[in-house]
Amino acid sequence: MKATVVGAGGLGGPLALALGAAGVELVVVDPDLVEVSNLHRQIQFTAGDVGAAKATTLAARVVAAGGRAKGYKLRWVTEDADDLSADSDLIVEGSDDPATKFAVADWAVARSKPYVIAAALRFGGNILVGAPGTACYRCLFEEPAAADTCAAAGVLGPVVGAIGGAAAAFALAIARNGARGNLGTLYAFDDLRSSPDPRIVRFSPRADCTACAQRKAS
């Protein structure tokens, strides 16, 4: 089993460490360097990592824990996606960029691969679990837009660990048995300080979804 993890930060850290420890071979992709301001929530890194590439440093941590991983210091974009991720069995997204989330989901739909899209902000987060044939990320949210980021709105450090861990659990469920019951579902964790229970949003394919239409046409 092989997976691409897009983003090596607050979400990508727990995702990669959990999946790598479970025996999933990983491709880790992130263009950023470790900054001091990351350390309160990106606990896969240490002060000694400041200035190093997140992707390769995280991949090294996965390998040090006994897993298999390769890191790439670059932004995951559709143009390079087949080179990076064509041999992945699933793709998991934990970046802070709305356009990347849509690009990953659209590519996964087009390539008939299961995927997990995770996000965290302030005290909560969202996880969408998708696969070909079910309603997709674009069916639900339609198009990227300027959204608040952790840098602007903040995030409680442990929240990214919790959301990243939950996203890893969904990814492992896909890896093991297809996670039929979770596909086409958004888990919206509102405020982890008061409740760990997500709102479970099951949604239907949207008739005018361009990603689903492209898949059907190809």
Partner 1 sequence: MATIRVPSALRLLTANQADVEVDAPTVRAALAALDQKHPGIAKKVLDGDAVKPFIRIYVGPDDIEALQGLDTPVTTRDEIAIIPALAGGR
Phi, psi at residue 192, to the nearest 5°? -70, -10
Report in angstroms how near the CB of residue 133 gets to partner 1 at its nearest. 20
> 36: Cβ–Cβ under 8 A, 6 or more apart, which residues?
47, 50
Report in angstroms how near the CB of residue 54 gets to partner 1 at its nearest. 9
Report in angstroms how near the CB of residue 106 gets to partner 1 at its nearest. 14
Using the minimum distance from each CB to partner 1, give the nearer residue, 54 or 215: 54
Separation in Å, CA 99 to CA 73, 141, 147 = 18, 12, 10
Long-range contacts of 180-185 (CB under 8 A, 24+ apart): 182/129, 183/114, 183/129, 183/130, 183/131, 183/134, 184/129, 184/130, 184/131, 184/134, 184/135, 184/136, 185/128, 185/129
Using the minimum distance from each CB to partner 1, give the nearer residue, 26 or 156: 156
Residue 5 structure tokens: 């993890």
| Closest alpha carbon to 160 in 4, 12, 7, 54 | 12
Report in angstroms how near the CB of residue 181 gets to partner 1 at its nearest. 17
Report in angstroms how near the CB of residue 87 gets to partner 1 at its nearest. 25
Q: Which residues bind partner 1 (CB under 8 A)?
A: 7, 9-12, 32, 38, 94-98, 101, 118-126, 140-145, 147-150, 153, 155, 160, 163-164, 186, 188, 190-191, 199, 201, 203-204
Using the minimum distance from each CB to partner 1, give the nearer residue, 23 or 157: 157
